[in-house]
Amino acid sequence: MNLLLLTIIAIAEGASIYNYGFSENSKKIGTQEHLFQYLAGNAPYFKYPLDYGINLPIPEHCELKQVQLLARHGERYPSKSKGAKLSNVYQKLQNYTGALNGSLSFLNDDNYHIFWEDTSQLELEVTSKNSLDPLNPYTGEQSARTHARQFISLYGDLLEENSTLELFTTNSKRVHDTAAFFAEELDNAVKSTHMNIISEDSSSGANNLSPGYSCLPWDEDENEEYLSKYSSEYLEDIADRLNNENKNLPLNLTATDASSLFVWCGFEISVKGYSDACNIFTDAELLHFSYEDDLYDYYQDGPGHSLAKPIGSLLFNASVELLKQSDELDQKVWLSFTHDTDIINYLATVGLFDNGKKLNASSVPFLDHIYRKAWMTPMAARLYTEKFQCSNETFVRYTLNDAVIPIESCSSGPGFSCPEKEFYSYAEKKLDGMDFVKACDIKSSSNYTSLSFYWDYESVNYNASLLIQ
């Protein structure tokens, strides 16, 4: 009876039922959360698995002075490029008469279709209206709303009922939509909210929430020769297994197809709440895929890429300046929404997950593996910078995805925070030699050589047109 009621309510609110009538996956939804951490940030949000036993709220008897948020958009449909690859695999599996066997047998269901109704949904945030299952609890909309309510619980003391709260977002539609859902939940806590929409275009130069787009010299394939050393044997094994299970059909699945099936698994959970495709993989294969994603991210966007830290320094430097000016600035809450890559670049500069040991392409590490991309930037990731005062001293602390992440070399304060003066010394060392404008040759494509939107939003109208990309 409760399932029936929930389904009727969801349909009444505009959710798609994707030709299912009542959800056939209702008993499966919520049973795959143990997989999220292995799915390369394509699956729904999950809490950072290691909280070190540190309480998330600021320590008792301390007072918040400022909080900053750098958040990823919520659960979404695949990008157009990934959608094209997934469509190719889906069509390959549909081009035969006869039943599929083994872990691909779910495709024999006449009601099963690829997990978007048409290509116009690609790139978009998953919402209650466009989710392919009315009972899907993992939509980007719901993540943003739940996150906002948690934000009010943790940081509501900094919100002023009679004030307008400024939010900052890139002009990617899914990023903007996440910020908008978040803002709607704040409307009961403040007089109003106002969205500053910052263009991602390279012409924005240094005045950008997604600075990687402005860094024209950036080369994704800088470390491709080293990355190619990571064995694809596990993908070949998957393809061979699926082909052997279906010897009656000339599937001819490849290692590339097998890699796409992991992407299928993660995104389908975000869109529908469950994915039968996830049952294809063994535990070992999930571990291999997860580490391969860590490895590629480390050398393409993280500490292993020569431009990652200079790119991340733009937002990190702005964050430090906001902290230093917290007593002077009227706004005490700084809410910014962008992409996972931008958060990864930022974290590379801060150094929270960089112990100086480069990731190895020869094998999967276990005992000394702190760089886990999916843990850092799942869908709806949220990185907070907290500044709080205890007695007469002020401290700075980071939390990531509902877990406190101490700066290992500076954690002597309450709640394993960093004393403010020591934090600024730490930041100065991390930013030493970091010149975003020079490293990214900004002057060749833009006149904007500094990040100003946090300071000039009252005089400049930041209202870039939304883009679906």
**CA atoms 160, 377, 299, 467: torsion sign:** negative
Q: Is residue 465 part of a domain?
A: no
Q: Is residue 360 part of a domain?
A: yes
pLDDT for res 164: 95
Q: Are 41 and 302 in contact (CB under 8 A)?
A: no
Q: Which H or E run contains 66?
A: strand 62-72
As a whole number of angstroms, the distance between CA 218 and CA 212 comes to 8
Q: Is residue 461 part of a domain?
A: no
How confident is the model over 225-257, as pLDDT tens digits?
Answer: 999 999 999 999 999 999 999 998 989 999 999
How confident is the model over 415-450, as pLDDT tens digits?
Answer: 999 999 999 999 999 999 999 999 999 999 999 999
Burial class (CB in 10 A: 0-12, 13-18, 19+), 143: buried
- Average pLDDT score, the chain: 94
**CA atoms 142, 145, 151, 152: torsion sign:** negative
Q: What is the edge-to-edge ordering of all strands in the sheet holding 62-72?
A: 192-198, 164-170, 333-338, 62-72, 382-390, 393-400, 418-419
How far, in Å, are 21, 70, 434 from residue 339 at the CA level? 35, 9, 21
Q: Is residue 463 part of a domain?
A: no
pLDDT for res 341: 98
pLDDT for res 466: 98
As a whole number of angstroms, the distance between CA 220 and CA 311 comes to 13
Instruction: Give every CB contact of residue 98 below 8 A, 6+ residues apart in sequence.
Output: 248, 249
* pTM (predicted TM-score): 0.94
Ranges of residues in the chain with a pLDDT under 50 are 1-23
Instruction: Give every CB contact of residue 335 below 8 A, 6+ residues apart in sequence.
Output: 69, 71, 165, 166, 167, 168, 179, 182
Task: Find the domain containing 171 and state its range.
Answer: 2-456
How is residue 18 written in tokens?
Answer: 């994707």
Q: How would you label 17-31 residue by residue, b for 16+ Cβ within 10 Å and e otherwise?
A: bbebeebebbeebee
Q: Which H or E run contains 262?
A: helix 255-272
Q: What is the DSSP letter of 59?
A: P
pLDDT for res 24: 61
pLDDT for res 6: 45
Q: Which H or E run contains 333?
A: strand 333-338
Provide the residue type at 395 as one letter: F
Catalytic residue set? 73, 340
As a whole number of angstroms, the distance between CA 396 and CA 430 comes to 16
Q: At what angle do helices 233-245 and 283-300 cross, to 10 degrees?
A: 140
pLDDT for res 25: 67
Q: Are 325 and 226 in contact (CB under 8 A)?
A: no
Q: Is residue 469 part of a domain?
A: no
Task: Report the 10 Å Cβ neighbour count for 1.
Answer: 5
Q: Is residue 95 part of a domain?
A: yes
As a whole number of angstroms, the distance between CA 444 and CA 435 comes to 15
If we measure between CA atoms, which residue out of 193, 242, 62, 166 comes closest to residue 460? 166
CATH number at residue 124: 3.40.50.1240
Number of domains in the chain: 1
Task: Report the 10 Å Cβ neighbour count for 156.
Answer: 14
How is residue 12 written in tokens?
Answer: 């009444």
pLDDT for res 95: 85
